[in-house]
Structure 1
Amino acid sequence: MAMPQTDLSLVETAGAAPQMAVRVRGVSKTYGSVEALRNLSLDFPRGQLTSLLGPSGCGKTTLLKIIAGLLEPTAGEVEVNGHPVTGPGPDRAFVFQDFALLPWATVLRNVAFGLELRGVARSEREAIAEKYIAKVGLSGFEKSYPHELSGGMRQRVGLARALAVDAEVLLMDEPFSAVDEQTRRKFQEDLLELVAQERKTFIFVTHSIEEAVYVSDQIAILLPRPSRVSEIIRPEGLRTKDVANIRRDSEYLDIVDRIWASLRSYVE
């Protein structure tokens, strides 16, 4: 069944439009002769989760790293809270696909590590770390080491570390791709709860259409290289529904089908 345009509004609902935490303006990126991004512009509403979705190699991670300040664009600019991005900063935190934990450090120290680098006193940083360890469901594992944890638990440590530094923008590069399907579904539910509780801006890279529709306030569909924004979808009706029922909801199923229809021609 076709989805009515009103259910996939590309504009805000009635009332004041949300403030934008991140603005990408005319960003291009080339690697030698390879043009990864071309004149890409996109806004990320404050306090919401935006997914970057598109075929493999379309520049999702490149865009994420440019926003993080880990890569410099060839052209264009990125602003966070109205300030131009010139490199990494405390207003942004990155959750890596491969966990990127310190193998010699306990869970507690891994989570507190960003605060340690900022010179936060040990008692204060450990108290903050314990708070977020509990929030991601790892209470009791503070003294464990990464090799003693499952993949899902290590990813929770990475998420807790990003939350602990209290960055306004969390950048997540396929954070659930290395875990099993059951763990991934639980992570998705937990992520929705964190977005609601933390009121931070999440930018989330995924290859999964179903995952993007399930967790997102906004989905930006990127075209194959050189990447541009093809479409922006806001599944607003799903955000008011119980997380346990979203995957059976007709709106969810229709949006998944619509996105697949727009992307299938790009899949080899």
Structure 2
Amino acid sequence: MTSQGNTALKTTQDAPQSDIAVSVRNVSKIYGGAIHALNDMTLDFPRGQLTSLLGPSGCGKTTLLKIIGGLLDQTSGEILVNGKPVDGPGPDRAFVFQDFALMPWATVIRNVAFGLELRGIAKSEREAVAEKYIAAVGLSGFEKQYPHELSGGMRQRVGLARALSVNADVLLLDEPFSAVDEQTRRKFQEDLLALVEHEKKTFIFVTHSIEEAVYVSDQIALLLARPSRVSEIIKPDIDRSISPDALRRDPVYLDTVERIWSSLRSYVE
């Protein structure tokens, strides 16, 4: 699939390095000496944008995310964040996990402020920051609640607020909306677009949903089946000034979804 003659898709051009927050350079990952998860992958993540990693199950999306986050070591190649090599977790990156990863014994505000607590930030200061992001994700009034008192969607909002509160340059989201119902998922997608616009951070977003990737992404990296490599970089050329309902019915949006599905269809068993 190419963008030639197609107004729904745009392929990326080389961006100045200062505009790149994360660079993946010739990265391979081999598990146990036999399983090739990633194969010589090279990919740039533009600063202040949301990039989705999209591809068939088992294609290495989460593996790549964990390598960028410093939770896994690559077998070869290099990851650069703001021009500096990644050699482990760091304050410039924050995770939002699929399973929420909240502390069940801590209140919402304690969970959101926990990263700042680990950094030794004074309680009054960290709670002020936490309250700001609790409000930003729509949870004002729930500061003193515990995770078991919240719905799944609300717990995921807590996880997102926690990642935002540490003021990391790069947010890594591993299928953060997969455990919620469709109505909540759509609202999350709209809220995520607002956060990308207002926070000016770099979001790297793993999803299995083509529709979701097209709706939320500035660019989409299509990954091929294992050993994973980048098939294509796509920039959805959709009009985000129209209402969410109108956007989801827009012919350009629908055409982009269908063209990506045509590319990925052969990898679905």
1:60 aligns with 2:61: yes
Which AA in structure 2 matches 1:8?
L
- Alpha-carbon separation, structure 2, partners of 1:241 and 1:78: 37
1:74 aligns with 2:81: no
- Alpha-carbon separation, structure 2, partners of 1:18 and 1:89: 20
Deviations 1:91-129 (A, max 9, x none): 000000000000000000000000000000000000000
Q: Indicate if the aligned counterparts of 2:222 and 2:230 stay in contact, CA closer than 8 A.
A: yes
Please give the secondary structure, in 2, of the residue aligned with 1:5.
coil
Which AA in structure 2 matches 1:261?
S
What's 2:19 paired with?
19
Q: 1:234 to 1:17 in 2, by over 3 A?
A: farther
Deviations 1:138-179 (A, max 9, x none): 001000000000000000000000000000000000000000
What's 1:143 paired with?
144
TM-score (norm 2): 0.95
Q: Indicate if the aligned counterparts of 1:217 and 1:239 stay in contact, CA closer than 8 A.
A: no
How far apart are residue 8 of structure 1 and its match? 1.4
What's 1:152 paired with?
153
Q: 1:221 to 1:255 in 2, by over 3 A?
A: same
Which AA in structure 2 matches 1:250?
P
How far apart are residue 22 of structure 1 and its match? 0.3
- Alpha-carbon separation, structure 1, partners of 2:194 and 2:263: 29
Q: For the aligned residues, what is the CA RMSD?
A: 1.7
- Alpha-carbon separation, structure 2, partners of 1:144 and 1:263: 42
What's 1:134 paired with?
135
- Alpha-carbon separation, structure 1, partners of 2:241 and 2:50: 14
What's 1:163 paired with?
164
- Alpha-carbon separation, structure 1, partners of 2:258 and 2:8: 14
State the aligned residue count: 266
- Alpha-carbon separation, structure 2, partners of 1:97 and 1:232: 24
TM-score (norm 1): 0.96
How far apart are residue 238 of structure 1 and its match? 3.2
How far apart are residue 16 of structure 1 and its match? 7.7
Aligned identity (percent) is: 75
- Alpha-carbon separation, structure 1, partners of 2:226 and 2:31: 12
- Alpha-carbon separation, structure 1, partners of 2:206 and 2:16: 27
- Alpha-carbon separation, structure 1, partners of 2:80 and 2:39: 18
Which AA in structure 2 matches 1:10?
T
What's 1:250 paired with?
251
Q: Indicate if the aligned counterparts of 2:8 and 2:253 stay in contact, CA closer than 8 A.
A: no
Structure 2 unmatched runs, 5+: none
Please give the secondary structure, in 2, of the residue aligned with 1:55.
coil
How far apart are residue 241 of structure 1 and its match? 3.8
Please give the secondary structure, in 1, of the residue aligned with 2:247.
helix
Question: Runs (4+) of structure 1 moved beyond 4 Å?
Answer: 15-18
Q: 1:16 to 1:39 in 2, by over 3 A?
A: closer
- Alpha-carbon separation, structure 1, partners of 2:52 and 2:244: 17
Please give the secondary structure, in 2, of the residue aligned with 1:238.
coil
Q: Indicate if the aligned counterparts of 2:50 and 2:204 stay in contact, CA closer than 8 A.
A: yes
Q: Indicate if the aligned counterparts of 1:68 and 1:88 stay in contact, CA closer than 8 A.
A: yes
How far apart are residue 245 of structure 1 and its match? 1.9
Structure 1 unmatched runs, 5+: none
Please give the secondary structure, in 2, of the residue aligned with 1:176.
coil
Q: Indicate if the aligned counterparts of 2:48 and 2:202 stay in contact, CA closer than 8 A.
A: yes
Which AA in structure 1 matches 2:255?
D
Counterparts of 1:1-268 in structure 2, within 5 Å, are 4-12=5-13, 19-32=19-32, 33-268=34-269
Q: 1:28 to 1:199 in 2, by over 3 A?
A: same
Deviations 1:52-101 (A, max 9, x none): 00000000000000000000000000000000000000000000000000
Which AA in structure 2 matches 1:189?
E
